[in-house]
Amino acid sequence: MEGIAIMTSGGDAAGMNPAVKCAVEYARSQGYMPYLVYNGLRGLIDDHIEKATTASISGIINRGGTVLRSTRSKRFFEYEMREQAYNNLQKHGISKLIVIGGDGSFRALNQFYADFKVPFAGIPATIDNDIPGTDYCLGVDTALNMIRQSVDSIRDTANSFNRAFVVETMGRDCGYLAMASAVTCGADICVVPELEYDLDAIGKRLRLRMEEGKNFLIGIVAEGTGIGDYLTRWIGDNLKMDARLTILGHIQRGGSPTVRDRLMAFKFATAAVDSLQRGEPCSIMVYRSGNYGTLPIHKVADARCAADPALIEMCKPLCK
């Protein structure tokens, strides 16, 4: 039987485990021998490769993170290490790869294909939702629900003590989590890299709200802006309200995958196996405008991620 290996790489995201489970089961149903690569790119180099069994994927569908674990391996940049990884795959009879991760992982496997012609299919998984060509990446919905739960809890305290809270979300240079959370959590302020903000205008708008009886404020900022501390101090100094900063951090990556992330994982995983069966050597699974499809790696790696124009429009009033 032809071997196909499934691995996770880069930052962990809820939805990775359901994708692993589905990829193993669907690959087996299509006549492949599925293997699991543990510890990401390092696992390819160090031969942390095992045949997938029923036991190895049992009970993982509800677990956050990745049971296969993940690493970022600088050694994979070295040709000799990639050659060692290739020899490991050859030893196990593995001729195809499925990688669940971000654009950095896809680029690494693309170089691996250029060197040794091992085809791969990429499943987008990052809570940042910043992979070009796809509207959705695994882990985003779970992360948004973690943020929503946290902001709802913070709002209770803010209302009880007449306070302002600034909540910092993850996302690197992408403000998707912050914008989606600001809209759905009823935030008063949203600061993201994609939008210009005007603190004078924000202050004027919020003073009017406070005169009308508003007794608490919620601001949501993306970590890429680096403004969390400053905005917290600014609220205290200019709006004369006790203000606190909450950095959610890695709590956003964890948690049991939501229904949406589980469904998306299954659809991406079956599409990945189908893509390899069709002979597509280096394709990324994408979801755009309600449709599933694939894109060649160069169209993902060479493009920039564009923010949703509709979401930007909804957030503009919160920036001024």
Based on the residue annotation, tell me whether 141 is a catalytic residue of this protein: no
| Rounded distance between C-alpha atoms, residue 90 and residue 79, angstroms | 16
Q: At what angle do helices 259-277 and 16-29 cross, to 10 degrees?
A: 40
| Rounded distance between C-alpha atoms, residue 18 and residue 265, angstroms | 6
Burial class (CB in 10 A: 0-12, 13-18, 19+), 312: middle
Residue among 46, 47, 115, 128 flagged as catalytic: 128
The beta-strand segments (E) located in the chain are 3-8, 33-37, 49-51, 94-101, 120-124, 164-169, 189-191, 217-222, 243-247, 282-288, 291-296
| Rounded distance between C-alpha atoms, residue 320 and residue 315, angstroms | 10
Structure tokens at 204: 């004027």
| Rounded distance between C-alpha atoms, residue 112 and residue 213, angstroms | 61
**How many CA atoms does the CB half-sphere of 16 hold within 13 Å?**
30
Question: Which residue type sits at 108?
Answer: A
| Rounded distance between C-alpha atoms, residue 166 and residue 158, angstroms | 10
**What three-state secondary structure class fits 169?**
strand
Q: Of 185, 190, 189, whose CA–CA distance to 155 is shortest?
A: 185
First and final C-alpha spacing in the chain:
61
| Rounded distance between C-alpha atoms, residue 175 and residue 221, angstroms | 8
Catalytic residues: 128
